[in-house]
Amino acid sequence: MGHKGVKKPALRLEIPALRGNRKHCLCETCNIEQWDSDEPVPRSELLEKVAGIRGLYCLLTEKIDAKVLDAAGPSLRVVSTMSVGYDHVSLEELKKRGIRLGYTPDVLTEAVAELTVALLLATSRRLLEAVDEAKNGGWGTWKPLWMCGYGLTDSTVGILGLGRIGAAVMARLKPFGVKRFLYADAGPRPDMATKIPAEFVPLDELARHSDVIVVCCALTPETQGICGNSLFSRMKDTAIFINTSRGGVVNQEALYQALVNGQIAAAGLDVTEPEPLPTDHPLFKLKNCVILPHIASATVATRNAMAALAASNLLAGLQGKAMGKEVPL
Ligand code: DGY
């Protein structure tokens, strides 16, 4: 029987990101200038095409700063990003101009939590290394100590940044037999912590007691580089470090040193700084570092939900109505 080829997933972004391949179309509600490609819109094209627009639908790949907002001019009233993170958008510049911002929390929580658990297990049980060994002849006889990693049963898991995603990660990890959940954040979050339950601790303590640390916090000026030498040096040498939030929260040089020097056992990263991480980056050379290309929310249903929410936020904002999900500025 002939090979039928791989069927593409049914990804239908009902109101696609306002990216514009010089296509100018008229929908019932508004004129849309669309960059019709999965590749990010070139900065020069963005700067040219935003002139005189009222609403901007963007992705996390577009830096929305003073330059873009100036290029758009005073007509711009709403920015809607198809992402839960909005560190690519200058809130200060939006606020100055009275521009509203929509984003897409909640609809991606489950997908991101699921991928976080997958990345954790792939890292702690050394799945990628084991697959390589099996394929490349490293698989000899069964050996008692070969390819041993770390399990979750009776472990302590520390969450850095206990929001919706952190809580969803904990709920998924609980059935694995985790004994204790800790979390560090700007302050206690009893709304999120009581269901599990999880104990609020200072970051130092989180580092000292956790067998696994999962980073779920947003990238802000306060969290920029928060996972650095002072965190890694306090962690157990058997600990696993997982980041599915933003690359900027990690000092990658410090992480590299911690992995090479055996300060921690392994790391799993879905996000890096920069993205894409250059293929010759030293972290790619380490067997105890699993790197994914920022795919935590990449399920067909989730991306469709994000696209639809971002579009409805934009339309509501343009009509001067309450957005489904709006960042308070
Ligand atoms: C977001 O939405 O901010 C994620 O990082 C991408 O899904």
Most distant CA atoms of the chain, gap in Å = 70
Atom of ligand 1 nearest to the CA of 103: 2
Q: Is the CB of 272 under 6 A from ligand 1?
A: no
Q: Is the CB of 60 under 6 A from ligand 1?
A: yes
Q: Is the CB of 115 under 6 A from ligand 1?
A: no
Atom of ligand 1 nearest to the CA of 85: 3
CA of 86 to the centre of ligand 1 (A): 9
Print pLDDT tens along the chain (329 aa): 223 333 434 433 334 443 444 344 445 567 899 998 989 999 999 999 999 999 999 999 999 999 999 999 999 999 999 999 999 999 999 999 999 999 999 999 999 999 999 999 999 999 999 999 999 999 999 999 999 999 999 999 999 999 999 999 999 999 999 999 999 999 999 999 998 999 999 999 999 999 999 999 999 999 999 999 999 999 999 999 999 999 999 999 999 999 999 999 999 999 999 999 999 999 999 999 999 999 999 999 999 999 999 999 999 999 999 999 999 99
Q: Which of 88, 209, 281, 294 is catalytic?
A: 294
Atom of ligand 1 nearest to the CA of 306: 2
CA of 4 to the centre of ligand 1 (A): 33
According to DSSP, the residues that pair with 157 across neighbouring strands are 181, 212
Nearest CA to ligand 1 atom 2: 83
CA of 220 to the centre of ligand 1 (A): 15
Which tens digits make up the pLDDT trace of 284-325? 999 999 999 999 999 999 999 999 999 999 999 999 999 999
CA of 137 to the centre of ligand 1 (A): 38
Q: Is the CB of 85 under 6 A from ligand 1?
A: yes
Which tens digits make up the pLDDT trace of 256-276? 999 999 999 999 999 999 999
Residue 3 catalytic? no
Nearest CA to ligand 1 atom 7: 297
CA of 63 to the centre of ligand 1 (A): 14
